[in-house]
Amino acid sequence: MRYFLYSVFIYFIFICKASGELLDILDVGLMAQGRPPYFSLPTATEPATGLYIDILDEIGREVGVKFRYRFIPQPRIRHLMNHYRIDVEPGIAEEWRLDSLELKNSIYSHSFLTSSEAIVYNPHHFKTPPSKNTFNTLEPCSILGFSDLDLEKGSQGENNKVLTEMQLLKMIQHQRCDFAVFPEDVIKPKLHAFGLMATKSIAVFDLKLRFTDRHSVLLPKINKAIEKMVTTGLMNEMINKYRGLSD
């Protein structure tokens, strides 16, 4: 009888695996306020959407894992990653995660996207259009949990650290700080509404999927899935869709 029950159990696991019901579930940390076009928050009737989510869902189908999206304040994401309570942080350049624990326990996928960063400022604060060097001695502001560029070396204190990009834009709009650095993908649709302007790109980063090192066995499969999306043109199709470049 014991052997029979064991056989039934093994058979049940095999059937569930074959039907996709027993997938590995990896928790993905995303900013609690959303960050279109990379990701938008779920609603009562609709799931979360966005470029990162489309990419991860496709990778999940290829690899046989399920990504579960958790919307958490950015500093909390980094803390939970350090303590193995979040599995994935998408859209990260390796040079942004240099704390000792992050260096120790992070592994990265192939790059799947490049991000051009620009300086956002209030044009009413300047008599002439500013150059990049203009901002070296001015007051920056940024989001808690984000890694600041070398440019942002002003007397930035905690009062200039906020939780959301909406707060960040309002601070620049009301001249409570002089500038902030944003990805061009994120800022372009918002500039006009806040009466702000952006410089040309000042830096370009290769964005990757950051995993905790306990998923090192899974990483080659994930990289293979990314390579397939690139070679088939699917990755470019997704990126163009969210950048508004699709036909």
What CATH code is carried by the domain that includes residue 223? 3.40.190.10
User: Tokens 């964005």, residue?
Assistant: 207
Give yes or no: residues 109 and 177 share one domain.
no
Contact 126, 119 (CB under 8 A): no
Domain of 60, in residue numbers: 7-113+206-242
Q: Which helix (H) or strand (E) holds 184?
A: helix 184-187
What is the predicted pLDDT for the residue at 158?
Answer: 56
For position 176, what pLDDT does the model report? 93
Residues 18 and 106 in one domain: yes
pLDDT digits (tens, 9 = 90+) for 46-91: 999 999 999 999 999 999 999 999 999 999 999 999 999 999 999 9
C-beta separation of 118 from 228 below 8 A: no
Q: For residue 203, what are the β-bridge partners?
A: 117
Task: Count up the domains in the chain and report the number.
Answer: 2
pTM of the model: 0.86
For the chain, which residues score pLDDT lower than 70?
1-23, 150-159, 246-247
How far apart CA 95 and CA 106 sit, in angstroms, is 12
Whether 62 and 106 share a structural domain? yes
